[in-house]
Amino acid sequence: MNLENTVKFHFAKSTMISDSPRATGSDSLTGTDIMAAMGMTQERAAMGYSAFLGKMGISHNDRVRAITLLAEYALTKCDSVAALRKLDAGVKPLVMHQLAMFAFEDYSRSAASVKQCDCCAGQGFIEADVFTMKSHYTMKLPQWAKDLKQSPGDFEVKRQVKEAVRLLCSTCKGKKVVSCACSDCRGRGKAVNHKETKKQGVPVFSTCKRCSGRGYERIPSTEAYAAVCQITDAITVATWEKSVKRFYDQLITKFDLEEAWAEQQLRRITR
Ligand SMILES: [Zn+2]
Ligand SMILES: [Zn+2]
């Protein structure tokens, strides 16, 4: 049994558990076995299991727990980076928590994720000024005169009218969010290699250069840096680029490693 299989059990009510063990490919396991296995995995691989459940959107608590555990871990490791070691004792845990939050967002992002539309700041529409030409007549003209459209120009006054209108955001089509899927490969991780396609005469796909085959755009680390700057101004951009960014990347990787560890534990327990 793997982590992916446990997902349905979190959504399922007790009836489902005895109902569909076959679909999980673990015929011999009863619902109780599975619940026990999940409990043991949680115990042995707390960070990885919580991170996985948080990523799958199963519970908000798991997300919070995973972030807290990573922040605690970060706190034990951060002194290896001079710029972090020098932070005030009161500020350090806050910075670690902020980095852990961004690490979680990055770890849990997939090609299916959505992010706020930057174009409209998540509003779904854009306020725009539209100028229209309006006209009116200085005297009351009979309808036939207006219909002729050859109304005496002397009586017609034209003016430009400015109106503030809400236009549907063209980027997100009013949905307020946009997909995180890579715009080159649309989340597939592979894109048409135009050079090879031309040479071979058949469509040739290769790993997408834009997302390195990941299928989605990562959260720019500058966003994490900006959030850290809200807490302290002790870390300069140069320091971030030189040393702190690497530490932050390690935190993201930590979730992947911990998830793999949880996976391994669950397999071992349910073997
Ligand atoms: Zn938008
Ligand atoms: Zn791509």
The residue segments making up the domain with residue 151 are: 114-179
147 in the same domain as 243? no
Distance, CA of 162 to chain centre: 38
* Separation of CA 189 and ligand 2 centre (Å): 5
Number of domains in the chain: 3
104 in the same domain as 11? yes
Whether 66 shows a pLDDT value over 50: the answer reads yes
For the chain, percent of residues with pLDDT exceeding 70: 89
* Separation of CA 194 and ligand 2 centre (Å): 14
Q: Which of 57-61, 89-93, 170-174, 178-182 has the highest mean pLDDT?
A: 89-93
Q: Which ligand is nearest to the CA of 125?
A: 1
Q: Say which amino acid occupies 59.
A: S
Q: What CATH number corresponds to the domain at position 64?
A: 1.10.274
- Whose tokens are 């309808």? That residue is 143
Q: Which residues pair with 115 in a beta bridge?
A: 178
90 in the same domain as 8? yes
Q: Which of 258, 257, 228, 230 is nearest to 243 (CA)?
A: 228
143 in the same domain as 104? no
Q: What pLDDT does residue 149 have?
A: 63
201 in the same domain as 175? no
Per-residue tokens: 7: 């997902």
151 in the same domain as 66? no
- Whose tokens are 């026990």? That residue is 36
Whether 15 shows a pLDDT value over 80: the answer reads no
* Separation of CA 182 and ligand 2 centre (Å): 4
Q: What pLDDT does residue 106 have?
A: 92
Q: What pLDDT does residue 21 have?
A: 47
Q: What pLDDT does residue 11 have?
A: 63
DSSP 8-state class, residue 79: G
The greatest distance separating any two alpha carbons of the chain, rounded to the nearest whole angstrom, comes to: 93
260 in the same domain as 206? no
Angle at 162 between CA 157 and CA 163, to 5 degrees: 125
232 in the same domain as 98? yes
Q: Which ligand is nearest to the CA of 209?
A: 2
For the chain, percent of residues with pLDDT exceeding 90: 42
* Separation of CA 168 and ligand 1 centre (Å): 8
* Separation of CA 126 and ligand 1 centre (Å): 8
240 in the same domain as 165? no
* Separation of CA 219 and ligand 2 centre (Å): 14
As a whole number, mean pLDDT of residues 24-39 equals: 73
Per-residue tokens: 110: 């997939």
pLDDT digits (tens, 9 = 90+) for 191-228: 888 888 899 988 888 999 888 888 888 889 999 999 99
* Separation of CA 127 and ligand 1 centre (Å): 12
For 195, half-sphere exposure in the C-beta direction (CA atoms, 13 angstrom radius) is 1
* Separation of CA 159 and ligand 2 centre (Å): 50
The residues placing their C-beta within 5 Å of ligand 2, an ion, are 182, 184-185, 208, 210-211
149 in the same domain as 51? no
Composition of the chain by helix, strand, coil, percent to 5? 55, 15, 30
251 in the same domain as 174? no
pTM attached to this predicted model: 0.70
126 in the same domain as 104? no
